[in-house]
Chains A and B, each alone.
Chain A
Amino acid sequence: MDSSTYSMVLETSEKLFAGCGGEGFDPALWLAAEEAGFPLALLSEEHGGFGFSAREAFAPVRVAAACAVALPLGETLLANWVASLAGLGTLEGPVALAWSGVAAMPFGRYLRTVVCLSKLDGGVGLSLLHPAAELWHAGTNHAGEERDVLVATEPVAPQARVAMSPVALRAIMSTLRTVQMAGAIEAVADMCLRYCNVREQFGRPLGKFQAIQHQLAILATHSCAATVAADMAVAAFETLATQGEEVFIPTAAAAKLRAAEAATAAASIAHQVHGAIGFSEEYPLHLLTRRLWSWRDEDGSESQWAEYLANWAQTQPERGLWPALTACDLAKVA
């Protein structure tokens, strides 16, 4: 399963993003990421991409999140994937998908193009916007990542469409946040372990105290669950064409929910075991935890996806939840 491409992508992105963490968009780093081809990796070679699998294409997104790098990497990856599906060709980045009328867009002021989505009968309409910089009303999420509101746009008629349900597209966008959460939670766990191995109180490292050990064990269980959740969502995205939306949407919804639950637990434990230093601006923990607090509710809040899944479970026939769950199992391609 660990293809050499996957390892290569991991290695390249770790080299590129390590030590580059910060609050907002970094134009120089964006150029470097573009140079590496990351934002177009999902596209076929004829469309200027690498024809990567979803797992390979999302790897730099996870690494960027783990390194607390603020780039519209996944946004551009997905916007280009949707655009190519609709026959709109390759879009110059950064690009992001955004629902028409939705308040805040990721990295709005830096976007070359916005792929504006609207609900149509039997699909989703796409129109391309190229808003001037002054049309953006600047804002941020809890982590200081740009989340800007586009003011006063004329309604634009859809230029193209994709035969996909709006909720499937929402689930695709939420998968980006799931992958980011998994990456950041693993980085949080790593930071906690390193800290607890060196920080001494009462004459021994914090990690030698059983109370701390159990907290770190709980953190590890959540990190593993979030990673599996992200892997599941990405795999279901990969097989969207063959296994269909019926498999992808509940899988992506569950993955986002589970990763969000893990994010809450991870941030809480991380701040607790770090004590006061973790609460200071100079220490890099907050670059990860503040993102986790944002991402768990971006692109479908935790409670929205919870309601979606509750409804999904309740609309199965009697004793039908189990068959519905197993129907979502990843199928081995012959």
Chain B
Amino acid sequence: MALPTFPLEATTPAQAALRDEVRAFLAEALTDLPARERARSWTGFDAGFSRKLGERGWLGMTLPKEYGGHDRSAVDRHIVVEELLAAGAPVAAHWIADRQSAPLILRHGTEEQRRTILPRIAAGTCFFGIGMSEANSGSDLASARTRAEKTADGYVLNGTKLWTTYAHKAHYMIVFCLTGQAESRYGGFSQVLVDMSLPGISVSPVLDIAGEHHFNEVSFDNVLLPPDALLGKEGDGWAQVMSELAFERSGPDRFLSSFVLVDELLRCLKRMPGAAETSDLGRMVARLMILRQMSLSVAGRLARGEQPVLAAAIVKDLGALFEQDVPEIARRVLHENASDPEYAAVFRRILLAAPSFSLRGGTREILRGIIARGLGLR
């Protein structure tokens, strides 16, 4: 049978010290941030905070020093990210750049792109958007129709991307698009690096069900791209985007999105000791403990240069279920008399964000398809 392995990852004394250092920094830096703001998790945007993390050396951690990084392991980065998310730090500004764009540029970018862009990502001053989904291309990414037409001077980009988180603040977007004639369903695609300040780009907001603005629709109208905008090889877009998604799928962002609500729930429960049937709470803690180790294990495999695609999909599927169950468990456990305005605000924010947990980064159904393929069923 082809079940993936999740070797246990043990923490070194240096890693434990790193965790303590990050935790102490956050305790100070986030003192005045109320729980309802911390509940935004990785959609909370604060460019100043991102810069501070960059100064501490906690962004671009796995990048080589020559590109402004810190030559740290994926496990070290995992520990920092866990602490940031558990504390509800506003990490959205640098999030996509640090998580997936930087590794992509390191692997597929030109030397010029690595030298100019990666140090800025590590400094927390350069932000990225993900240019994958389109109006008619959600889970079926291979139906994307945005096209970069090759010309004598580079490319001309036309098309519209949708659900682009923080495109209105991003300096760059990596756009998945057609560049050639598709000889197969997955052929003809490339990824291009788009400077968001170029003429012909328009960004318009799309509000979510809570009325919040983080999504956008981004239109490219004859945007002229230089020849070196091509990231990686022409025609390799599909393979590149699939490996990019592997970085997106197993991290602590896949099970900690609602952790601030767990903390708030425990705070309110202290006012009603013994009043509730709390075994659901115990089950929740158990799931979280095991998920943490599973996700850490994937980080360990990434650190050893492996590509644990199947293991990552499993962590994301279990993680999203956990994140979505947290508000439901909170409802069952907490008597409304024990609630207060801060708790109520946190609860609403998590409740209204929860549907996205099993959509972003690959829907539950797509993940289960990937797992089934890993089991040899497809």
Contact = CB atoms under 8 A, between A and B. Distances in A.
A185 to B, nearest CB: 10
Interface in A287-334: 303, 305-314, 316, 318-319, 321-323, 325-326, 328-334
Interface string A26-69: 00000000000000000000000000000000000000000000
Interface residues of A, number: 60
Contacts of B288: 325
B286 A253 contact: yes
Interface residues of B, number: 57
Nearest to B1: A190
Contact of B290 (A189, A225, A313, A318): A225
Interface in B316-371: 317-318, 365, 367-369, 371
A10 interface: no
B294 A228 contact: yes
Interface string A55-87: 000000000000000000000000000000000
B124 to A, nearest CB: 23
B279 A306 contact: yes
Scoring A214, A220, A321 by chain B CB atoms within 10 A of each residue's CB, the highest score goes to: A220
A228 B6 contact: yes
B3 A251 contact: no
Given A193-B376, A224-B3, 11 more contacts: A196-B377, A213-B368, A213-B372, A217-B367, A221-B318, A231-B6, A232-B290, A257-B283, A306-B279, A318-B266, A329-B11
A124 to B, nearest CB: 24
Interface of B: 1, 3-4, 6-13, 16, 19, 23, 82, 86-87, 259, 262-263, 266-267, 269-270, 273, 278-283, 285-294, 297, 311, 314, 317-318, 365, 367-369, 371-372, 374-378
Contact of B4 (A193, A224, A310): A224
Contacts of A308: 282
A227 interface: yes
A241 interface: no
B266 A307 contact: no
Contact of B375 (A216, A257, A311, A322): A216
A321 B371 contact: no
B371 A318 contact: no
Contact of B294 (A225, A307, A330): A225
B287 A261 contact: yes
Interface of A: 1, 186, 189-190, 193, 196-197, 207-208, 210, 213-214, 216-218, 220-221, 223-225, 227-229, 231-232, 235, 250-251, 253-255, 257-258, 261, 303, 305-314, 316, 318-319, 321-323, 325-326, 328-334
A321 B293 CA distance: 16
The SS class assigned to the A binding surface is: helix
Contacts of B290: 225, 228-229, 232, 254-255, 258
B297 A217 contact: no
Contacts of B273: 314
A250 B283 CA distance: 12
Contacts of A326: 19, 82
25 contacts: A193-B1, A217-B375, A224-B4, A228-B290, A228-B293, A228-B297, A232-B289, A232-B293, A253-B286, A257-B282, A257-B283, A258-B289, A306-B280, A307-B278, A307-B279, A310-B279, A310-B282, A313-B282, A314-B266, A322-B87, A325-B289, A330-B9, A331-B10, A332-B12, A333-B10
Contacts of B278: 307, 310-311, 314
- The 8 closest A-B CB pairs, nearest first, are A306-B282, A309-B282, A310-B282, A306-B279, A213-B372, A257-B286, A217-B371, A332-B10
